Amino acid sequence: MADIEQLNGDAQSRIGAAEDLAALEALRVEFLGKQGSVSALLKTLGKMTPEERQEQGPKIHALREGVQAALTARKEALENAALESQLAAETLDLSLPAPGMPQGSIHPVSQVMDELAEIFADLGFAVATGPEIEDDWYNFTALNMPESHPARAMHDTFYFPDQAPKGGKMLLRTHTSPVQVRTMLEDGAPLRIIAPGRVYRSDSDATHTPMFHQIEGLVIDKGIHLGHLKWTLETFLKAFFEREDIVLRLRPSYFPFTEPSVEVDVGFAIENGQDGKGRRVLGGSGDEPGHGWMELLGSGMVNSRVIEMSGLDPDQCQGFAFGVGVDRLAMLKYGMDDLRAFFDGDVRWLRHYGFSAFDQPTLSAGVGARA
């Protein structure tokens, strides 16, 4: 009995003092291994008389269980201490990509959307959104295009068979202008918003796809005139293309939801790229030698009928609106020549034209700066 108590005390003391897992494993072998001291006591049970076995057996088994429990507790304590030490010594940035893992990229359309939002936020514009499956009334009628209006033929529209709540049909929106109507009805005036998003028209070639991206701007307030529109567009285009020599030309045009309506041309020059091919680069007057004018967007003063159908008083509120294709802006700024490649999902194209997640556009660092 004295030997068992002495062995137990020695084992508990030494196990509790083990400094690492290697030392603890050596103690486990010393006490509970095949040649261990506790294992040796267990082997003596077979040579004892029944009376001795009945007396010594429970004590020896209790010794073995006590040593095993001490080993388990000390191992858990050492492992926890090692983990805490590792966590204290190491830092892990969870925003970084995992080592050896393939890195994705930001699509140019998403990047340009962020650039536009950054620029217009600095001009005091809020971002407004609306449904892509739209009501015929919001998409056409409220924008001064009744059912018999010839302008509807300009939109190759995808219609649904469902009946719209206000008559007509449901459809995939052909522009983001319905967002302007919805926002005026909900928020009233004054108003200063941009409405970016996907739009749909039945058309497909090198410069058109059935689905593309558009951003429209709307300002409604008292005393708004065409000069405010021109200044806003100039400021926006200079910030987006990061050039101070952007020159605009406004040409009379027609849109049913604006009056007067103007097409906006931007001056460009032909510059040779690294591949030796000439491409149009915005900047300078289009009337200079070697320069020209490029039609970029449509705009105008909001038609009084649209203001009225949006629940506002056209005698009290005026405003301007403009719209431009986001995909086209990306093509011009980053030198892409085929709109269809935007939606092909070609990994090589995405690697070449894609942006790092760290390329966050800011006005201070440059909206087009790459990390």
H helices, E strands: number in the chain: 11, 11
What is the model's pLDDT at position 273?
Answer: 59
Q: How confident is the model at residue 192 (pLDDT cuts 50, 70, 90)?
A: very high
Q: How confident is the model at residue 184 (pLDDT cuts 50, 70, 90)?
A: very high
What is the model's pLDDT at position 243?
Answer: 87
Question: Which of 33-37, 132-136, 268-272, 336-340 comes out lowest in average pLDDT?
Answer: 268-272
Q: What is the largest CA-CA distance in the chain?
A: 118
Task: Tell me the whole-structure pTM to 2 decimals.
Answer: 0.68
Cβ contacts of 168 within 8 Å, gap of 6 or more: 135, 136, 137, 140, 141, 147
**Looking at residues 242-248, what average pLDDT do you find?**
89
**Mean pLDDT of the residues in the chain:** 85
CA angle 8, 12, 16 (to 5 degrees): 170
Most confident residue range from 94-103, 143-152, 190-199, 266-275: 190-199
| Residue 371, pLDDT above cutoff 50 | no
CA-to-CA distance for 109 and 237, rounded, in angstroms?
A: 17
Considering only residues 11 and 225, tell me which one the structure prediction assigns the higher pLDDT: 225
| Residue 124, pLDDT above cutoff 70 | yes
Torsions phi, psi of 175, nearest 5?
-160, 170
Question: Which of 68-72, 312-316, 353-357 comes out lowest in average pLDDT?
Answer: 353-357
Q: How confident is the model at residue 165 (pLDDT cuts 50, 70, 90)?
A: confident
What is the model's pLDDT at position 195?
Answer: 95
What is the model's pLDDT at position 16?
Answer: 86
What is the model's pLDDT at position 235?
Answer: 94
Instruction: State the pairing for strand pair 211-221/191-200.
Output: antiparallel
Considering only residues 368 and 18, tell me which one the structure prediction assigns the higher pLDDT: 18
**Looking at residues 14-23, what average pLDDT do you find?**
88
Q: Which residue from 186, 155, 184, 196 is spatially nearest to 172, judged by alpha carbons?
A: 155
Considering only residues 98 and 42, tell me which one the structure prediction assigns the higher pLDDT: 42
CA-to-CA distance for 312 and 292, rounded, in angstroms?
A: 41
**Looking at residues 128-143, what average pLDDT do you find?**
92
Contact 296, 201 (CB under 8 A): no
Neighbouring-strand partners of residue 208? 205
pLDDT digits (tens, 9 = 90+) for 70-79: 889 999 999 9
Most confident residue range from 30-39, 68-77, 93-102, 333-342: 68-77
**Looking at residues 91-103, what average pLDDT do you find?**
68
Annotation: CATH topology of 108-132+190-348: BirA Bifunctional Protein; domain 2 (3.30.930)
pLDDT digits (tens, 9 = 90+) for 276-307: 566 677 777 877 777 889 889 999 999 999 99
Percentage of the residues of the chain whose pLDDT score is greater than 70: 91
Neighbours of 157 (CB within 10 A): 19
| Residue 97, pLDDT above cutoff 90 | no
Describe the crossing of helices 108-122 and 226-241 by its angle, rounded to 10 degrees: 130
Q: How confident is the model at residue 337 (pLDDT cuts 50, 70, 90)?
A: confident
